[in-house]
Structure 1
Amino acid sequence: MLIRNKLILRFTLLVLGIQLSFSAFVYYFHAAAREQRFTRRLAGKAVMTARLHLRHPADSGRTARTFHRADLLTIEKEEISIYGPDNRLLYVSADTVPQAANRQQLATVATAGAPVRFRAGPLEAVGLTYGPAGRAYRLFAAGHDELGRAQLANLRLILLAGNVGALVLIILAGWYFADESLKPISRVIKQVKRITARDLSRRVDEGNGTDEIAQLASTFNQMLGGVEQAFEAQKSFVSHASHELRTPLTVALGTLQTGHAYDQTLDEAKASMASAVDDLRQLVALTNALLTLAQADQARFRGEETVRLDECLTQALAQCQSRYPERHIRVDFGAVPARLETPFAVAGNAQLLTTALLNLLDNACKYSRAEVRATLSYPEPGTVAVAVADTGIGIEPAELARVTEPLYRAENGRRAPGYGIGLAVTQKIAQRHGGDLRLASVAGAGTTATLRLPAA
């Protein structure tokens, strides 16, 4: 169900519930007031009849009945009965008045201080005492409140018609307010529909910037910014990867075609094959690097495994030393908090962290002939860091922000072997572990790469 329809339905049910409750309240109290008025009227008629009859006790016939029938306040289907102190029937307004209900109420009326209401067949009846205690008479009056019930029926009709009309107005009001409330969302939907993969630079209007719709639009704009950056990075990656893969493939294919067409001797054929093998090795190395980047980008782990970062650094040092046996790598330890049960412990994946540290050490050894220094420390409570510093060629400030992009290489480092993937992989691994990679470099003076991770 659409939100618009939900709002209209809920608004209608809420207001209709209030309207019906108010109508029931009005009807209930009007009915109670009618009953009280009619009860007082019956009691008054019974007392008036008793006064008239008891003043002329010998006349129980024509005089009292003539007066009673000529009374202008006669109640429809009126029935009046008077019982003496000895519970003997003294007067009845008509010979056909049934007395069964009255006799059942004699004891109740005798002990009650206020008039007693009850039903006498289809009629409403009231019983009360009249006279001093010990000599009190029991008076009963019954009748049909035609006027009161007609008014109550009219009130029911008015309330029914009013509620039906109010229901129509409530639905219209609900539709109007729902439409006005959802207009900003409709505007956002229209703007979002205009955004396509070819035009991710569009943004949604944030309106007044304060209400919930503005917050939604702002969040959507932030998401669009992230999608745009990821889309541009993906296009750049595909473009660079296509170029990098095409070059060794083209060279290897050209070498093999040339050798197949022109090589006459075994030595010439072997030379062509050796050249093609070198190109294919580069292609395999590049493919593996791209696979490593994809794995780092898609890595998922719960973070339940506790890893010693110093052990990962030791493994990375051993692998790097085998690649660059002539290079000297020095390991230092910085500030370490006291009373640590497990120093340099982080939550994550040991293999990925070892790969990240190996990439930093490999870059330092590749671009520097002097000593490389790796420092393991706690720069602040709750953070473990490994800083790898070299005194090599450094990076220009304009290129420093781009060296973590996949397949991007700084201008002064393109002569060295590599594909520009190591720093990108390290940065993604750091992000997957809740940390970051920070680079500081001076062209011609060296680079310091710091991997920072939250301590376990």
Structure 2
Amino acid sequence: MQIRTQLTLVFTAITGAILLLFAFAVYHTSVNNREREFYALLEKEAITKANVFLNARVDKQTLQDIYHNNRKILNEVEVAIYDTEHNLLYHDAVDIDFVKETPDMLSKLAKEQKLYFYQDKWQVIGLLYPYEGKDYIVTAAAYDEYGYRKLDYLLKAMLVGLVVALLIIYIAGKYFSRRFFRPINAMTERARNISATNLDLRIESSANGDELARLADTFNGMLDRLESSFDAQKHFVSNIAHELRTPLAAIIAELELSTSKDQAIADYKLIIDRALNDAKRLTKLSNSLLDLAKASYDPTEITFKPTRIDEVLIDALQQVQSAEPSYRIGLEFDGEIEDDTFISVQGNAYLLKVAFANLIDNGCKFSDEHKCTVSIGFDKTDVFLTFEDNGIGISAEDIERIFTPFFRGENKTFTDGNGIGLSLTHKIVSLHHGSIQIDSTPQKGTTFHLKLPHL
């Protein structure tokens, strides 16, 4: 069932329930009012007839004739008058006698002075009427045909009105729900046409700032992120293919050359060395891609725990030194460490080690002396690390794109690389809620400044 149909039915049901409660309240009030008003009428008739009989001393026969004549055209009130000894003094129609007064009834009436009750559908009132120092018991009874007819008309009118109202409400609900859901249907049709090949399409958003406009803006924002992600993915795949193709092509060419004709042992060694270097490049590239994938995980899936920065930095230094013994790496501490928490962060030791190793390797690689100096400092909130070299530096134009995956600047001819290390480092630092800045002067050197919040 469609939501708009559900809303229409729910709205109709709620409105119908409210109308039904209102109709019940009106009908119940009308019933009570009819009963109360008719009892008041009976009381007036009883007092009036008692006055006519006792005070005006109108003849019994005359009063009875009036009663019988009126009964032919309307429901006349039947009145009976007794003294306190239960002697019947007057009755409009003894032959009819709807009330059937009994001694117990008269005794109760004399005691309570006024009674209201029903005889079948006839309403009866009994009261104690004082006259010239004596009390008389007067009863009056009648059937309120006119009042019941009005209630019957009222009930039928309310039932018909309720049915008509529900029908009108349902039709109006269908119309307005269709009208209000028209923008949603348009959004649905638009979204159905969006695919990976046309992520530039967007959902139209109104300018009134309502819930649908906010939904459209949110959806468009999601499409913006998806489009950027798809573009980045295509760029990423293209760069990977390019980076893999070069060493693979070199390896294939070297191996084909070695099998094309007999070679001297020295030539075979040279070919094997070249193929081995290309294979190492592939290994380094694959490791970098794996680390980049790990750094791109959902942060909730990465294990973070208290980690000492100096220990991770020493591990990274030893790793780089082991891979490249020619590198010269210096480590300096700015100040005494009195509290371990000042150089400890909530982080992932493996990823931090990868980031530090990339910066150390990068500093040594682009320096003629293959030298990099690392220093550690801290304040009340953060740990500061600097990675300084006096190598070839980075141009201002390249600094703007230095953290883009696979980007290699003007210095790419100086040494081999794949453009992943710095982008990976930037992602890892961001995962740890830190920041990284670059100060660089071409032909003088580069300094990377890292700031990480400590425990």
Q: Same fold (TM over 0.5)?
A: yes
Q: Distance between the aligned counterparts of 1:58 and 1:209, measured in 2? A: 83
2:214 aligned with 1:226, yes or no? no
Take 2:108 and 2:403, find their aligned partners in 1: how far apart are those partners? 99
* Alpha-carbon spacing, 1:367–1:108, altered in 2? closer, same or farther (3 Å): farther
Q: CA deviation at 1:38?
A: 1.4
Structure 2 partner of 1:119 = 118
Say whether residues 1:361 and 2:348 are aligned partners: no
- Per-residue CA deviation, residues 274-315 of structure 1 (Å, 9 max, x unaligned), is 332332222222222212211221264466622222322232
| SS state at 2:168 partner | helix
CA distance in 2, matches of 1:185, 1:222: 17
Identity %: 34
Deviations, residues 381-435 of structure 1 (Å, cap 9, x unaligned): 6444433233322222333232222222112134312211111222222233333
CA contact (8 A) 1:324 1:365 kept: no
Task: Give the aligned residue type for 2:402.
Answer: V
120-129 or 140-149, which deviates more: 120-129
Task: List runs of 5+ in structure 1 lacking aligned partners.
Answer: none
Residue 166 of structure 1 corresponds to 165
Shift in CA distance, 9/104, structure 1 to aligned 2, threshold 3 Å: farther
Change (3 A) 1:397 1:112: farther
2:52 aligned residue: 52
Counterpart for residue 41 of structure 2: 41
Q: Which sits farther off after the overlay, 271-280 or 245-254?
A: 271-280
Contact 1:129 1:136 in 2 (8 A): yes
Distance 1:193 1:47 in 2: 83
Cα deviation for residue 142 of structure 1 reads 2.2
1:197 corresponding residue in structure 2: 196
Q: How big is the shift at 1:88?
A: 4.1
SS at match of 1:43: helix
User: Are 1:282 and 2:276 matched, yes or no?
Assistant: no
Larger deviation, residues 136-145 vs 241-250: 136-145
Structure 1 residue aligned with 2:63: 64
Residue 260 (structure 1) aligned with residue 280 (structure 2): no
Letter in 2 for 1:406: P
1 CA distance for matches of 2:438 and 2:72? 106
Instruction: Say if 1:392 and 1:445, in contact at 8 Å, map to a contact too.
Output: yes
Q: Secondary structure at the match of 1:346?
A: strand
Change (3 A) 1:75 1:451: farther
Q: Which amino acid aligns with 2:221?
A: Q
422-431 or 201-210: bigger deviation: 201-210
The whole-number CA distance in structure 2 between the counterparts of 1:251 and 1:101 is 125
Write the letter of the residue equivalent to 1:4: R
Which SS does the other structure have where 1:164 is aligned? helix
Helix, strand or coil at the partner of 2:209: coil
Q: Compared with structure 1, are the counterparts of its residues 314 and 231 closer, same or farther at alpha carbon in structure 2 (3 Å cutoff)?
A: same
SS across alignment from 1:434 = coil
Structural mapping, 1:51-450, within 5 Å: 51-55=51-55, 62-71=61-70, 76=75, 78-92=77-91, 93-97=93-97, 99=99, 105-106=105-106, 109-112=109-112, 116-131=115-130, 135-208=134-207, 210-298=209-297, 300=299, 301=301, 305-322=305-322, 323-333=324-334, 342-369=341-368, 372-378=372-378, 382-450=381-449
Aligned AA (1:86): E
Q: Is the CA contact 2:390–2:445 (under 8 Å) kept in the aligned structure 1?
A: yes
How many equivalent pairs are there?
Answer: 451
User: Counterpart in 2 of 1:14?
Assistant: 14
TM norm structure 1? 0.87
Q: What TM-score, normalized to structure 2? A: 0.87
Aligned-residue RMSD, C-alpha? 3.2
Query: Distance between the aligned counterparts of 1:335 and 1:195, measured in 2?
Result: 59
Contact 1:303/1:347, CA 8 A, preserved across alignment: no
Report the residue type matching 1:188 in the other structure. M
SS of match in other structure, 1:136: strand
Aligned mates of 1:73, 1:31 — CA distance in 2: 26
The letter of the residue matching 1:317 is: L
**Do 2:8 and 2:177's aligned partners in 1 also have CA atoms closer than 8 Å?**
yes
**Distance in 2 separating the partners of 1:107 and 1:40:** 22
Deviation per residue, 1:297-347 (Å, 9 max, x gap): 1264466622222322232223234335442424243899xx967213322
Please give the alpha-carbon distance, in whole angstroms, between the structure 1 residues aligned to 2:173 and 2:167: 10
Aligned partners of 1:251 and 1:133: how far apart in 2? 137
Matches of 1:341 and 1:326, distance apart in 2: 29
Give 3-state SS (helix, strand or coil) of 2:447's partner: strand
Unpaired runs of 5+ residues, structure 2, are: none
AA partner of residue 327 (structure 1): R
Alpha-carbon spacing, 1:427–1:105, altered in 2? closer, same or farther (3 Å): farther
For the 8 Å contact 1:76–1:144, the answer to whether it is kept is yes
Q: Is the 8 A contact 1:118 1:124 kept in 2?
A: yes
